[in-house]
Structure 1
């Protein structure tokens, strides 16, 4: 198996297992077994579990932000693009394997002991907020609205994971509509 294939298999297996069970509950042997990559090869590619966690988060960051961009850009108006963020969350929360935000979960598990994980999580959340800021700017809304929407979205992620319900996405969308209406956008 070539290096690229082995790396992709390890990242995919680790991403799935970390998301399902939590980072600390998953050992390298479980990742080896799920990926079909030998433990020796796994440690050649990722000398520590922390490096693997960071690589998984970088991979997930790219996928989430690209998915969000595609989802929101498909809407016709700037205001609809803002509200599409909450439709995106609703679709995600309805997935049978939804276990909350991998970034929030990773920060809860490792943020206090891994500066690398904490930095990656903060970077992802900054990028998420920057996406919202671009949508807010395109709609001609005040910049502070992006931070408010980010708080709503992140709160919905946590609440949906805890309750096991997709409803927080709709509730957050309702609040977002009210915030936009207060600005005169809807």
Structure 2
């Protein structure tokens, strides 16, 4: 088996286990068993568990943001794209294997002890905020709205992960619709706070 295929098998197995059970509770030997690679091959691909965790978070980031963009870009109207973010979150939260946000979970578990996990979590959350910022700009709305929508989305992620229901996405979408409408009115909210 070539290196690229072996790497993907290892990441598939590790990703499923890490997301379902947490990073610390899953050992390299268990990942080896799940992916069918020898321990020597696994360590040849990822010299340490932290390397595997880093690659897992990187790959998940690319996939997650790609799925989000694909869903959002299906909407023609710029303001509808902003609300489509919350529709995407609802669909994600309703998936049977949804266990919360992988970056929030990883940061909560290891962010203070593994700097690379903290860096990955911050990079992912910053990219999400920037994406919302671009959608806000495309809609011709005030820039501070991006931060407000980010907080709604992040709060929905945490709440859905804790309670195991997609309902927080609907509630956040309703709040986002109010903010988007108000921000679009002359003199609407979203002032910069100094």
TM-based fold match above 0.5:
yes
Contact 2:141/2:184, CA 8 A, preserved across alignment: no
Match of 2:179 in 1: 179
The 5-angstrom pairing of residues 124-139 of structure 1 reads: 124-139=124-139
Distance 2:161 2:57 in 1: 19
Unaligned ranges ≥5, structure 2: 186-194
The 5-angstrom pairing of residues 100-119 of structure 1 reads: 100-119=100-119
Match of 1:22 in 2: 22
- Say whether residues 1:87 and 2:87 are aligned partners: yes
Shift of 1:60: 0.5
**Deviating 4+ runs (over 2 angstroms):** none
Contact 2:20/2:97, CA 8 A, preserved across alignment: yes
Distance 1:9 1:140 in 2: 44
Match of 2:191 in 1: none
Shift of 1:183: 1.4
Q: TM-score, normalised by structure 1?
A: 0.98
Secondary structure at 1:155 match in 2: helix
Shift of 1:97: 0.2
Q: TM-score, normalised by structure 2?
A: 0.94
Match of 1:32 in 2: 32
Cα deviation 1:77-109 (Å, max 9, x = unaligned): 001100000000000000000000001000001
Distance 1:179 1:101 in 2: 24
Secondary structure at 1:96 match in 2: coil
Shift of 1:76: 1.3
- Say whether residues 1:2 and 2:2 are aligned partners: yes
Secondary structure at 2:76 match in 1: coil
- Say whether residues 1:43 and 2:46 are aligned partners: no
Secondary structure at 1:143 match in 2: coil
Shift of 1:184: 2.8
Secondary structure at 2:184 match in 1: coil
Cα deviation 1:124-159 (Å, max 9, x = unaligned): 101011110000000001111111111110110010
Match of 1:143 in 2: 143
Unaligned ranges ≥5, structure 1: none
Distance 1:184 1:147 in 2: 16
Contact 2:145/2:183, CA 8 A, preserved across alignment: no
Secondary structure at 1:109 match in 2: helix
Question: How many residues matched?
Answer: 185
Contact 2:156/2:168, CA 8 A, preserved across alignment: yes
